[in-house]
Amino acid sequence: MSLFARATLVLALAFLYAPILVLVAYSFNASKLVTVWGGVSTRWYGVLFADGPLIAAALVSLKVALLSAAIASVLGTLAALALDRHGRFVGRGAYTGLLYAPMVMPEVITGLSLLLLFVGIGLERGVATLVIAHATFATGFVAVVVGARLKGFDRTLEEAAADLGATPARVFTGITLPLIAPSVAAGFLLAFTLSLDDLVIASFVSGPGATTLPMRLYSQVRLGVSPEINAASTLMIATVGLVVLAASWLTARRGRGA
Amino acid sequence: MHAPLPPPAAPLLRLAQVTKRFAAHTAVDAVSLDLASGEFVCLLGPSGCGKSTLLRLLAGFETPDSGTIHLDGADLTALPPHRRPVNMMFQSYALFPHLSVAGNVGYGLKGLGLSRAALQERVGGLLQLVRLDGFAARKPETLSGGQRQRVALARALAREPRLLLLDEPLSALDRALREETQGELRAIQRRLGTSFVVVTHDPAEAMALADRVGVMERGRLVQVGPARTLYERPASRFVAGLLGDVNLIEGRLGPAVPGAVRSVETALGPIRAGGEGEAGAAVVVAIRPERLGIGGEGGSDATELSGTLAEATFLGDRLRYRVTMADGTVLRASAPLPITGPAPSVGAAVTVAIPAESARILPA
C-alpha cells in the first residue's frame, strides 16, 4: 500500500471512529466533569451498575431485542423461502418490494404508523408493542440475508433427500434448515442489534414501564451529559460490536463448503 | 424409427408414450421403453436431447404432460419422489455437506424402522461394497472426486431400489479412473441384480456399460438395442455418427433384388450394401473406417474402388488412412497394427474394398 493510500485510510477511519474513541476514553475519566480529564478510573461503571432505572431499561431492551429478533428470524426466513422457491408467481415483484420497504422507510413514519395502528386496535403500549414494531422492520433485513444464501443454495441436495425417501418436512428440517442456519443466525443477530439501537420507533410505540436503554439514555442526556452515560454507551458499543462480529463471521463461514 | 423389440415377459419398468414439454420446447417426445429386471440400460445422446429430463421423470422430479410410467405394474406417474421405489445418483453427486459419509449413506435408511445397530451394519456393508470402509466419519469435502462418486453410489443403493438412475455417473472423473470405475459399476450391478438406467453423452461409456443402449435425438428415443447392433446396424445417420466415426457416401438406391444386399448408385460408382428402402430413394451408404479394406482385402462380396492414399497416421495400436477417391471424396479407413504385408505408401494408388455385409444403407 502506498503512503498516500495509507494516509487516506487512516484519515477515513479517524473520521469514522474518533468520536467513538473519545466517548470510550471519557467513560474511564475520573473527573465528574465530562470534558475535563481527571485521570483513569472505572468509577462511572460502578455508578452505572448501581443505577436501578438504567439497569431496568437495559433489561427491557435485551428482552425486546431477543423476542423481536426471534420473530423476525422466523418470518424473514419464511418470506425469503417463499420468494426464492415459488418461481415467478403473480405479484412476486410487488411482494419483494413490500418486504424491503420497511428497511428504507423513514423511522419516524414507521413509528407513527405503528402508533396509529396500535391505538386504532386498542393495543396497550408496552413491551408487546415494542416487540411487534421491531420485528416488523427487522423482518426485511433477515429476508435479505437469508435470501442471499438461498440464491446460492444447491437445490439438487433437496432433490437427493426427497429421492432417498424424505418427506418435504424432513427435507426442510434435515437438509435445508441446517444448511441455511448460518444465514438465519446472522439475520437474527442483525435484527438483535437493530432493535437494541432503535430510539425513534421505540419512542412512538413504547408505553409507561417499558423504557428501553436508548430512550433512558436520551432522556438523561437532555438533562446534561454525565460520565455515567459515557460508560453505558461504551458497553452498548461493545455489545453491538461483538454481535456484528459474530454475524459477519457466520456470514463468511457459509461461503466455505457449507 | 426404432426397431420394435419384443417386450420382456414382465417388464420391471414400462414407459408408455411419455411426453414432457417446457413451454414451447418438447424435452421428451412420446418415449416408450420397457426395461427387464436386472437390465442395464444407457440413454445416450448429445446435451439437450432430453435424456436427463427422462431420468428426472423416472425419479419423480418432473411430471409428464402425457403418457404413463409403470414400475412392477404399479403406476408411478403421479407419485412424488419420496414415495417411489427408485433412487438416483446425481451428476453433481449432491452429497449433504453437513453430514459425514456414514450420515450420507444412511440418510435413506432413516424412517425405515431399523435399529441403530442394524442401520450401522447396513451402512458398513454399503461402504465395504464401494471400498470405502474406514471413511464413515469423514466429511464429503475431505474426499477425492472418485471417493465422492462412490459415496453417492452407496447412498443411492442404500434403500435397495428396484431401479437405480444414474445421471452421468462418471463424467466428473478423470479418464483412467473412469475406465476402472466402469468395470466396478458393472460388477456391482451384476452382484445386486438391480436394474440400472444410466444417462451419458459418451458413446464409449454407453457401449462399455450397457446391455442395451437407447439413443435419444431431440426428445425422441430413436433406436434401442444392444450396443453392437447400434454400432453395426444403425437406423439413421445420427445414430451411426453418434456411436463412432463413419464414412457416409450419398447415392440413390437401386432396384429391389432377392436377398439383403442392394446396390446404391453413388458418385464413386455402384456400391453394394445391406439395407432396405424404395428403389430410387435418396440414401447414404454408411461404412465404419475399420471395415474398409485398404489394398483390396474385402472378402467375397465387396465393392472395390480405386483411390490415392493421401495420408497415413500412426496411432499406436492402428494406422489411420485418408484416401482420396476419383471424384475428390475423402474416405477414412483404419487398420489394426501390426499390418500384414507391405504397408501402402502415401501418394500411391490403392484399392479400397467396401464389404457389403459391413456397409449399411440409411435414409439420407
Contact present, B155 and B104 (Cβ < 8 Å): yes
As assigned by CATH, the class of the B13-241 domain is alpha beta
Q: Please determine, for the modelled complex, whether the ipTM score is greater than 0.85.
A: no
Determine the topology of domain B246-363 in CATH: OB fold (Dihydrolipoamide Acetyltransferase, E2P) (2.40.50)
List of chain B residues whose C-beta atoms are within 8 Å of the C-beta of residue A154 = 92, 94
Q: Is A6 on the interface with B (CB under 8 A)?
A: no
Give the pLDDT confidence of B32-44 residue by residue, as tens digits.
999 999 999 999 9
Instruction: Say how many CA atoms lie within 13 Å of B141 toward its Cβ.
Output: 6
Contact B107 A156 (CB under 8 A): no
CB contacts of B98 in chain A (<8 Å) are 178-179, 258
> What's the pLDDT score for residue B4?
54
Residues in chain B closer than 8 A to A164 (CB atoms):
82, 87, 107-108, 155, 158-159
Residue with cell 430413436: B222
- Residue A245 half-sphere exposure toward CB, CA atoms < 13 A: 6
CA B76, distance to chain mean position in Å, is 25
The C-alpha of B83 sits at a distance from chain A's nearest C-alpha, in angstroms, of 6
**In the predicted model, what is the mean pLDDT of residues A109-136?**
93
Amino acid code (one letter) for B276: E
User: DSSP secondary-structure letter at B337?
Assistant: S
User: What is the per-residue pLDDT for B6?
Assistant: 52
Closest residue in chain A to residue B81, using alpha carbons only: A163
Judged by DSSP in three states, B216 sits in strand
Query: Which residues lie closer than 8 Å to B135 by C-beta, 6 or more apart?
Result: B101, B127, B143, B147, B151
Size of chain B, expressed as the number of residues it contains: 364
**Candidate from A166, A174, A179 with C-beta closest to B82:** A166
Average the pLDDT over A18-41 and give the result.
84
Confidence check: pLDDT of A258 > 90: no
Residues from chain B contacting residue A253 (CB–CB below 8 Å): none
User: What is the predicted pLDDT for the residue at A253?
Assistant: 67
Phi/psi for B55 (5° steps) reads -65, -40
Tell me the shortest Cα–Cα distance from A154 to chain B, in angstroms: 8
Give how far A148 is from chain B: nearest CA, Å: 19
Q: How many helices (H) and strands (E) does chain B have?
A: 8, 20
Nearest CA in chain A to B56: A159
Q: In Å, how far is B139's CA from the nearest CA of chain A?
A: 10
Residue A256's pLDDT is what? 45
Cell of B235: 437406423
Whether the CB of A177 is below 8 Å from some CB of chain B: the reply is no
Please state the rounded mean pLDDT for residues B115-133: 92
What element of type H or E holds B101? helix B101-106
pLDDT of residue B296: 59
- The pLDDT score that the predictor gives to residue B347 is 87
Of B87, B92, B111, nearest to A163 by CB-CB distance is: B87
> Among A165, A168, A175, whose Cβ lies nearest the Cβ of B159?
A165
Query: What is the C-alpha to C-alpha distance for residues A163 and A71, in angstroms, rounded to an integer?
Result: 32
Q: What is the tens place of the pLDDT at every residue in A123-162?
A: 989 999 999 999 998 999 999 999 988 988 999 999 999 9
Q: Where are the domains of chain B?
A: 13-241, 246-363
| Residue with the larger pLDDT of the pair A244 and B61 | B61
Q: Is A258 on the interface with B (CB under 8 A)?
A: yes
The pLDDT tens digits of the residues spanning B140-162 come to 999 999 999 999 999 999 999 98
* Chain A, chain B: beta-carbon pairs less than 8 Å apart: 62
Is residue B8's pLDDT more than 70? no
pLDDT for A90 beyond 80: no
The pLDDT of residue B249 is 93
If you measure CA to CA, which chain B residue comes closest to A158?
B94
Helix (H, G, I), strand (E, B) or coil at B185: helix
Nearest chain B Cα distance for residue A43, angstroms: 49
What does the pLDDT look like over B190-216, one tens digit per residue?
Answer: 988 899 999 999 998 999 899 999 999
Over residues A204-230, the pLDDT tens digits come to 999 888 899 999 989 888 888 778 888
Nearest to A162 among B81, B111, B159 (CB): B81
What is the β-pairing status of strands B212-217 and B220-225?
A: antiparallel
